[in-house]
Amino acid sequence: MAEVSDSNTKRILYVNGFELNQIHDFQSNYVSTTKYNLVTFFPLSLLEQYKRLPNVYFLIIVILQSIPQITPLRSWSGLVAVVFILAVSMIREGFEDYLRYKSDKETNSAKTMIYRNGKFEEATFKEVQVGNVVLVQKDEAFPCDLVMLSSSADNGIAYIETSSLDGEKTLKPRQAVIATMNDTRKDDIIRIFSLIECEHPNARLYHFSGSLEYNDKKQPLDKNNLLLAGAFLRNTAWIVGAAVYTGKETKLRQNLMSRKSKQSFIERKTNQYIVGILAAQTGFCVIMAILYGVWSYQEYDDHYYLSDPDYSAGLQGFLNYFTYFLLLNTMLPISLIVSLEIIKIAQGFFMQQDLEMYSTIRDRPCHVSAFSLNEELGMIEHIFSDKTGTLTSNRMQFKLCTVGNKMYGEKQFLISRQYSSKVTRQTKEIIFTFKVEEIENDLYGKDGDAPLSSPVVMEMSYGKEGLYSQKELLDQFVKCMSICHECLIEENENKESNYIGQSPDEIVLVDFAAHIGYKYDKLKAGIMDIKRLHFGMEDQCDLLRFEKCATLEFNSDRKRNSVIVKDLQTNKMILYTKGADSEIKKRLSQENLKAYLDKVSNDLQTYSERGYRTLMFTYKILEEANYIEWKRRFDEASTSIEGREERIDKLAEEIEQDLFLLGCTAVEDSLQDDVPQTIQALLSAGINVWMLTGDKLETAENIGKTCSLVDENMIVERCPGNLSLDDCLECMRYINSRFESEKKDKPAALLIEGGALEKVLFDEGDPIKITKYPELSKSQVTLQKAREIKQLFLKMALVCKTVICCRVTPGEKREIVKLMKDNTGIKTLAVGDGANDVSMILEAHIGVGIYGEEGMQAVQASDYSIGEFKFLWELLLVHGRFNYIRQSEMIMYFFYKNLVFTMPHFFFGFYCAYSGQAFYDDWYITFYNLIFTALPLLMRALFERDIEIPKRSEVGQTAQTKKDLLRHLIPKVYEVGRDNRIFTPFHFWTWNLMGYIHAVAVFFIPLYASEEGIMNSRGYNYSQWGLSVTSFSCIIFVVNFKLGLHTKLWSIYHYIAILGTSILCYFIFIVVYDPFTTLPTAKTLYQMLTTQYYYVCILVAIGFVFTLDYGVQILKKVLWPSVSDKIMKFSIQIRKEQEKDND
Amino acid sequence: MADGQVVPLGEEQHNRKPRNTPFRQQTMKAYKPVPTVKSAVIIFTTLGSIFIIVGSVLLSYSLEIIEHRKRYDNVGECDKTKYDRLSLCNITFDVTDEMSSTVYFYYELDNFYQNHRRYVKSKSQNQLMGNDLSKGSVSTDCDPIVTMEDLGIEPKYREGGWDLTDKDVANPCGLIAKTFFNDTFIMWDQNGHRVNILENDIAWPSDKDRKFKNLKNWQKKQWKDVEDEHFIVWMRVSGLPNFRKLWGRIEDDLTVGTYTVQINSTYDVSDFDGKKYVVISTANALGGRNDFLGIAYIVVGGITILLAIAFFVRGYFFKKSQDLHYS
C-alpha cells in the first residue's frame, strides 16, 4: 500500500475519519506529565536520586558504614545526612509531581466541543482524537494542535495568544484554509471528509507544512493554518479546526521535552578538583592501611590488652583502608552539592529582583532560566551580539528614499549626525519624522508629470510597458511598499488601524506608504484594498484593488521577498520584489538604464555609510502565459511536504529575474539607551565584542562607530566578501601582518563580510559544505588555502578587540560562535533578540535574550534574558563578577573547612596505632556540615561584595563626580573572573594548604597542651573525649573566624549566621548532647568547660589563624594591592564621604 | 511561564517591577571593614601584646609546678624481664623544693593504646550504669570480652565471694575493664612515716555521679567493683598512648627530703615494651606542668608583633602611592 510507505515520511489522517485513522495508532489527547503515581513514587523517585553519581557515592559510604568490622562510627549516624538530603530532594520531586498532576487533571477535564453525531457536542480535552473536528470559542484554549478550517471572521482570520508556549503576549493572526472557510461554519452540518498530509510531530513551534485535500484539490497548509495546543483564541468568536497532533505529539509537549543543559566552567573545574581531593583521600587511606598492616604484623600480638586480632595482619590493613575511607570521606561532603544548588537559586533570585536590571520600557526584570551558569557570567571573554533589536531599539524611522533620479527626505541627515527633525507620530515600532510635502507633490500634483530623462521600459510580447514620468515611477514605488509585505491590520478599540507584523522594517514602510496616501486598508479573500488619498484628503479617495496571487516570503538567506498580484484596474500581473541591494542587483534586468541604476546605487551607498538600513525596490510585469505555467508548478511545490522550501526557493529564483529598479529607501533604527557606554565598558573590561549583522559592510562599520565598537584610535581592517579565494587569502595575510606589527600600540578591529566568512567557516569534513562551495573543495591546494584562512582568522579574532561580521546568516552566526568556542577555548556569550539569533544563543556558553519587538523566541532559548542591551553592564560586570567571586570562594572554603575537620582523624591515626579510631564523635561529624557550618558560608556567598557599585541613576555620562569615576572604573575589575584569577589550581591548593595547616593547629594545640596529663587544680586527667571536644570547639571557632577574615561585608544576616546558627547552635548542641550517659562523650563537656585549658586552646588556635591569614591578607592587600583592592578602597572612601555629607 | 498551564487573559498584565526592599536589592545596612596599614599595625600590636602577656602568665603558672617522675617497671622485682612473677619494688624521689598540698599521685603508662579503635569501644555503658544485662545485649558493645571465660582471670586471683561460672556474662565486660590497671602504691617519707595517700576524689565528679553503679548484691554478680574510683579513672580512656592517671591525693605538704614509694606491681607491660612511671606533682588553676601553651602564646604573639613592625616599616617608611592610577 502506498499510504503505508508514505506514512514513514509524513503523517496521513482523515478529517472526520475516525475508523480510517485508527490504523495509525495516534496518541490520545490524554495528557500525563507526571513521573510517578502513589505506588511508584517511592521506588522510582529513589531510583531517580541514584541516577546522580554523588548520591551513589554516598550510598556506598552508608553501606560500608553498616559493616561493624570496618566502621569507625556508629552505623546509623552517617545515614542521617544521606536520608536528610534524599528526603529533601524526594519531597521536592514529589511536590513538583503533585503540581503537575493537578495541572494535568485540569487540562484533561477542560471542556471543548467535538463534532459528533451531526452536531458539536461538549467533550473534555482528553476525548479529542486525531481527525476530530473541534469547535473552539473565544478565550478558550486549544485542546490540541488544530488545522483551522474556518473562523467567525469573514476573511478567515483568527487571533491566538501563545503566551503559554513562548511567552509572547501579542496576538498572532492565523488563517483558515481558504477552500474550507465557507463550508465549515459553526452551525452547519460539517460534511467535510478530507485527507490531510503533514509532517510527523516535531518541536518546531513556528514550522508546519502539509496539505489538505478538499473537493479533489490539494490545498497547501503552513504554519499560518496551525492552531497550537495550549494557546488561546482571542478577539475571534469561534473557530472550527481539525485535530492533527494530540497528546504528547503536540508542538507544546514536544517542545517541553527538548532543552539541553549547559555545564558551567566552575562546575567542570570543581569536578576536577574533586578528583584531586579523592586522590589525596585515597592516598591517606592507603598510608593508613599499610601502616596498620605493618603494625598488626609487628606489634599487635604484643599488645595483649587488645585481645587477639580478628584477622591476619594483611586483612586488618586492607579493612583499615575502608575504615579510613569512612573517616576521611567528609573531605567530600554531600552538602556541597546542596549548598551550591541553594546558592545558585539565590543568586538567580537576586538577579531577577535587581531593580538596576529592570527595564521600564518593556516592564521586564532580568529573567534567569539557567541557574547553573550564574558564575560563568563573570568569566566571559567574547561577546557575540546581534545588531538589530539588540543594539538598536527596533524602532524605525523612515529617513530618506531615492526614486528614480530623485532623492526625497531631509538631506541634512546625511550631513550632520546631530540633525534631528520633528516627530509627528510615534508608536511602539515607529517614529515618524518624514516631511511628506515634496513626495506628495510629485505623486498627486503637476510636478510629477514631467517626463523622465531615463524612463523604465520593458519589452512585452504585446508591446512596450513602461514608466515615463516621475509620477508613474513613484506610483509603482509606493505600491511596492504597500503591497509587497506580510503585515496585517489590527484594529484597536477606537477603530484606528495599526499595522502589525514580524518585521519592523516592513511595518515602517507600509506605514510610510499609508502616510503619503497609499493606505493598505483591507485584505479579504485574497483581494487587497489600497485606499489612495490625494494629499491625504479623505474625500479625494480612489480604491485600488489587487488580487494577491503568490507570496515569496522573506528569509535571512534569501534577503528579499516578493509578491505577485493581479492589478484589478488593468488586469496586469505584476511582481513586486524588495530586498537587500546585493541580492537585488544580481537579479536586475539588463534593460535598466545605467544612469539611474548608478544614481540609486550611489544614494544607497551614502545611506548605508550613514548607518541606515537600506532596501531596494523593484517591479516587473509578468507575461500571463508564463505566469500561469509557473504558478502551476508553484502550487504543486507548496503543497508538497518533502523539501518544500527548497522547491519554492528554486521557483522563486526563477521568477525573480530581470527586475526593474524603482528606487531605494533608508530607514534608521536608532540605538538603544546607553549602548555606546555599555560597549565601551565591556571593551574596557577586556571583553572582545563581536557584532554579527546582516547589514552590508559600510552600514555595519557606521553602526560600529556610533555604538563605540570602532573608534579613531583603532586600527580598522576590512575583508570584503567578494574576493576570490586567492585574493581573500592575500587580504587576510596582509591584515594579519598589520595587526602583528601594530598590535601593541593600538587596539584592532576587523570587519569581515559574509563572502569571506564562508571561506573561514569552510569545513572539509562536512559533505554539505563540500558540495556547496566547490571552489574551495576542488583540490588539495584550495583546501590548504581555506585552512590557512581559517587559521589566520582565528589568530586575528583573538587579537582584535572588535570583530564585525557583516552579511551573515543565522546559521553562520552559530558557526562563528562554534568556531571560536571549539578552537580557542574562550568563554563566549551570545546576545540577541530575534528568532535568527536562537541558534547562536544555544551554541554559546551563555545565551542572553533580549525582550524585543521580534517575539520571544530568543528569550525562550536563552539562559538569561534582559529588557535592554545596557543591562549587560549589570549582568556581567556586577552580578557576573560577584557570582563568580562568591561561588568560587565558597567552593574553596567548602573544601577548606572540611579538610580542617577531617584531617585530625588522620593525624590521630598516628597516636592510636593507625587503628581507625574516630577522633570526633559521630554526631559532631554528622552535624558539622549539616548545621554548625552550613549557614555562614551561604551568607557570605549571598552577600559578599568588595566594591560598592554606583547605580546607573546616580551617575552622569562623563567622569565628573567621584561616583561617575568609580562606575567607569568598575569594568577594570572584571578581569578577576575573565582571566579566572580565583578558581585556579594555585588558589585551590593554597586553600587546601590552609586547611591542612589549620587542621594541624586544631589538632596539635589541644594535644600538646594536654600532654602532661593534669588538667586542673583538682589534679584530674585529660581524656580522649576531652581532647576531642576541645579540638572540635577550636574548629568551629577557627573556620568561622577564617570565613570572617575573608568577609568584606557584614550585615545582620552574617552575624545571625555566624554567632547564632553556627556558634550558638554548636554550644546548644554540645550542652544538650553531653548528658546522654550512654554515649562515649558523656559528661565530658561539663568538665572541660570548667578548665582554663579549653578556652586557652581555642584562643590560641584563633590567634594562630588570625596572625597567619590576616597577616598574609594584609601583606597582599595593603602592600601589593590589586586593582580590585584599590577600587574597593576608593569605593569605601566615597561612601564615607557621602555619609559625612549626610550628617 | 509554567508548563502549558492555563493562564486567563488579564492576569500577568500587572507590573513586573521587582520590589524595592533592602534584602532584594542587597542594600541592607552593612559594615565593611577596610584593611589599611594603620589599622593592621594597631590590631597586630594590640593582639601581639595580649598574647605575649597571656603567654607569660601561662608559662609562669606552669613553671610554678613541682613534678617528680620515676620509672619503675625496670626496677628490682617489678622488672618482668628479670623476674617471672611481678612483685614488690621500691623507688625513691628526692624532693628538693617543698611541695605544698595538694600533691597528686599518678601512675603513667607509655606505649599503651587505650585509644585503639577496638579498645575504646569495648565496654557497655549500660551495664556500667547498673543494669543487669544479658550476654546477648552486651555482646556487640563488649566484643571480644563478653563472658567470664573471655576475661580469663585465673581462679586464684578472683577476689572470692561471687557466684559465677565461665559461661556467665562478665560484669563489667569489655577490654577496658578486663585490662584494669591494678598496681598499688605505698609511700614513706625519709623518716619512715607513711605518707597518707587518699584514694577518693580522683575520678571526674561527672563520671562518678551516674555513669558507674554497682548492681544490688554486686559481690555475687560482678567480678569487680565498678564504683571503685581507680576503676572509673581507668575507664575514662586516654587520648594518647602515653598517659597519666590520677591514683591518689596527698593532702599534706611534702617537705624537702627523700621519699620512697613501694609498688606492688602486678600489671605487665613488658610484652609490648610499655613503661610504667610514678609521678608526684602539684597542680594549680591551670593544671600541671605544661609549657606548651605558654610558649605557643608567646610565639604567636611574637610573630604578630613582628608582622606589626613589618607593616609599620613597609607602610610608613617605604610608602608607596596607594592612589588609583586612573587609566
What tens digit of pLDDT does each residue of B20-42 get? 888 888 888 888 887 778 888 99
pLDDT of residue A1097: 93
- CA torsion A796-A801-A807-A808 (nearest 10°) is 80
- Kind plus residue range of the DSSP H or E element containing B30: strand B30-31
Which runs of consecutive H residues, i.e. helices, occur in A258-359?
265-298, 313-328, 335-353
Q: Which of B18, B112, B297 sits opposite A358 (nearest CB)?
A: B18
d(CA A552, CA A575): 10
Residue A199 has pLDDT above 80, yes or no: yes
How many of the other CB atoms lie within 10 Å of CB of A919? 29
Average pLDDT of chain A is 85
How many of the other CB atoms lie within 10 Å of CB of A86? 19
Q: Is A388 assigned to a binding site?
A: yes
pLDDT of residue B11: 37
The torsion angles phi and psi of B8, rounded to 5 degrees, stand at -70, 150
* 8 Å CB contact between A596 and A404: yes
Q: Does B191 touch chain A (CB under 8 A)?
A: no
Give me A721's grid cell: 566578501
pLDDT of residue A21: 80
Q: How confident is the model at residue A493 (pLDDT cuts 50, 70, 90)?
A: low
> What are the chain B neighbours of A867 within 8 Å (beta carbons)?
none
Q: Does A1093 touch chain B (CB under 8 A)?
A: yes
> A1074, A884, A1055, A868: which is closest to A984 by C-alpha?
A884
pLDDT of residue A168: 62
pLDDT of residue A417: 67
Tell which of B7, B16, B127, B316 to mutate to test the A interface (max A CBs under 10 Å).
B16
Q: Which parts of chain B sit beneath pLDDT 50?
A: 1-14, 156-157, 322-327
Put simply, the answer to whether B17 touches A304 (Cβ < 8 Å) is no
Count of residues making up chain B: 327
Put simply, the answer to whether B113 touches A913 (Cβ < 8 Å) is yes
* 8 Å CB contact between A1025 and A1077: no
Give me A1004's grid cell: 596539635
Q: What is the pLDDT of residues A864-880, one digit of tens each?
A: 999 999 999 999 999 99
pLDDT of residue A220: 84
- Kind plus residue range of the DSSP H or E element containing B151: helix B148-151
| Side chain identity at residue A607, one-letter code | Y
* 8 Å CB contact between A681 and A873: yes
Q: Does B30 touch chain A (CB under 8 A)?
A: yes
Q: Which of B118, B206, B315 sits opposite A915 (nearest CB)?
A: B118
d(CA B313, CA B303): 15
Q: What is the ipTM of this complex?
A: 0.92
> What are the chain A neighbours of B182 within 8 Å (beta carbons)?
none
With 0-12 / 13-18 / 19 or more C-beta atoms within 10 angstroms meaning exposed / middle / buried, residue A352 is middle
* 8 Å CB contact between A866 and A360: no
% residues pLDDT > 70 (chain A):
95
Rounded to the nearest angstrom, the minimum Cα separation between A373 and chain B is 20
Put simply, the answer to whether A1118 touches B44 (Cβ < 8 Å) is no
Put simply, the answer to whether A167 touches B311 (Cβ < 8 Å) is no
**Which of A848-852's residues contact partners 24+ apart within 8 Å by CB, and which partners?**
A848/A872, A848/A875, A850/A389, A850/A390, A851/A359, A851/A362, A851/A364, A852/A389, A852/A390, A852/A394
Task: Report CA-CA distances (Å) from A832 to A60, A393, B207.
Answer: 46, 12, 72
pLDDT of residue A664: 93
* 8 Å CB contact between A1024 and B120: yes
Q: Is A578 assigned to a binding site?
A: yes
Q: Closest residue of A to B327, CA-based? A: A969
> What are the chain B neighbours of A1053 within 8 Å (beta carbons)?
28
pLDDT of residue A995: 94
Q: What is the pLDDT of residues A649-677, one digit of tens each?
A: 889 988 998 889 999 999 888 888 889 88
Q: What is the pLDDT of residues A747-771, one digit of tens each?
A: 889 999 888 888 888 888 888 788 8
d(CA A612, CA A411): 13
Rounded to the nearest angstrom, the minimum Cα separation between B229 and chain A is 12
* 8 Å CB contact between A251 and A245: yes
pLDDT of residue B12: 43
The full DSSP string for A934-969 is THHHHHHHHH--SSPPPPGGG--SSS-SHHHHHHHH
d(CA A572, CA A590): 22
If you average pLDDT over each of A81-85, A108-112, A418-422, B258-262, which comes out highest?
A: B258-262
Q: What is the pLDDT of residues A900-951, one digit of tens each?
A: 999 999 999 999 999 999 999 888 988 898 889 999 999 999 999 888 888 8
pLDDT of residue B325: 43
Q: How many CB pairs under 8 A join A and B?
A: 315
Q: Which of A215-224, A475-484, A1054-1063 has the lowest mean pLDDT?
A: A215-224
Q: Does B301 touch chain A (CB under 8 A)?
A: yes
User: What is the 3-class SS of A960-1002, one letter each residue?
Assistant: CCHHHHHHHHHHHHHHHHHCCCCCCHHHHHHHHHHHHHHHHHH
CA A86 centroid distance within chain? 31
The torsion angles phi and psi of A163, rounded to 5 degrees, stand at -60, -30
Q: Which of B121, B178, B211 sits opposite A1083 (nearest CB)?
A: B211
How many of the other CB atoms lie within 10 Å of CB of A188? 12
Query: Under 8 Å CB-to-CB from B132, ≥6 apart: which residues?
Result: B171, B215, B221
Put simply, the answer to whether A917 touches B326 (Cβ < 8 Å) is no
Q: What is the mean pLDDT of residues A36-59?
A: 77
d(CA A486, CA A504): 11
Q: What is the mean pLDDT of residues A817-844?
A: 89
> A879, A867, A930, A863: which is closest to A1065 by C-alpha?
A930
Q: Which of A350, A917, A1107 sits opposite B120 (nearest CB)?
A: A917
Residue numbers of A annotated as active site: 386
pLDDT of residue A961: 78
B26-62 b/e with 16+ CB inside 10 Å = b?
Answer: beeebebeebbbeebbebbbebbeebbebbeebbebb
- Kind plus residue range of the DSSP H or E element containing A737: helix A725-742
> What are the chain B neighbours of A1023 within 8 Å (beta carbons)?
236-239
> B326, B315, B239: which is closest to B44 by C-alpha?
B315
Rounded to the nearest angstrom, the minimum Cα separation between B243 and chain A is 7
> What are the chain A neighbours of B315 within 8 Å (beta carbons)?
1118-1119
**Which of B205-213's residues contact partners 24+ apart within 8 Å by CB, and which partners?**
B205/A1087, B206/A1083, B206/A1084, B206/A1086, B206/A1087, B207/A1083, B207/B232, B207/B235, B207/B236, B208/B232, B209/A1083, B210/A1077, B210/B129, B211/A1077, B211/A1082, B211/A1083, B211/B125, B211/B128, B211/B129, B212/B128, B212/B129, B213/B128, B213/B129, B213/B130
How many helices (H) and strands (E) chain A has is answered by: 42, 38
d(CA B326, CA A967): 12
Q: Which of B4, B244, B304 sits opposite A252 (nearest CB)?
A: B4
Put simply, the answer to whether B34 touches A1023 (Cβ < 8 Å) is no
Q: What is the mean pLDDT of residues A402-431?
A: 78
Put simply, the answer to whether B307 touches A364 (Cβ < 8 Å) is no
Q: Between residues 251 and 270 of chain B, which touch chain A (CB distance below 8 Å)?
A: none
Q: What is the pLDDT of residues A262-314, one digit of tens each?
A: 778 888 888 889 889 999 999 999 999 999 999 999 988 888 888 888 888 89
Q: Closest residue of A to B118, CA-based? A: A306
d(CA A595, CA A583): 20
pLDDT of residue B318: 64
Q: Does B115 touch chain A (CB under 8 A)?
A: yes
Task: Report CA-CA distances (Å) from B242 to A214, A1010, B93, B121, B126.
Answer: 100, 11, 21, 19, 28
> What are the chain B neighbours of A358 within 8 Å (beta carbons)?
16-18
Q: Which of A161, A252, A1020 sits opposite B246 (nearest CB)?
A: A1020
Query: Under 8 Å CB-to-CB from A646, ≥6 apart: which residues?
Result: none
Put simply, the answer to whether A164 touches B6 (Cβ < 8 Å) is yes
Q: Which of B30, B31, B51 sits opposite A1103 (nearest CB)?
A: B51
DSSP classification of residue A553: -
A829 forms beta bridges with A383, A846
* 8 Å CB contact between A350 and B26: yes
* 8 Å CB contact between A1101 and A1001: yes
| Side chain identity at residue A6, one-letter code | D
Q: Is A696 assigned to a binding site?
A: no
Q: Does A348 touch chain B (CB under 8 A)?
A: no
Q: Is A394 assigned to a binding site?
A: no
d(CA A1020, CA B243): 12
Q: Is A140 assigned to a binding site?
A: no
Put simply, the answer to whether A913 touches B241 (Cβ < 8 Å) is yes
Q: What is the pLDDT of residues A619-651, one digit of tens each?
A: 999 988 889 999 999 888 887 777 778 888 889
Put simply, the answer to whether B4 touches A1019 (Cβ < 8 Å) is no
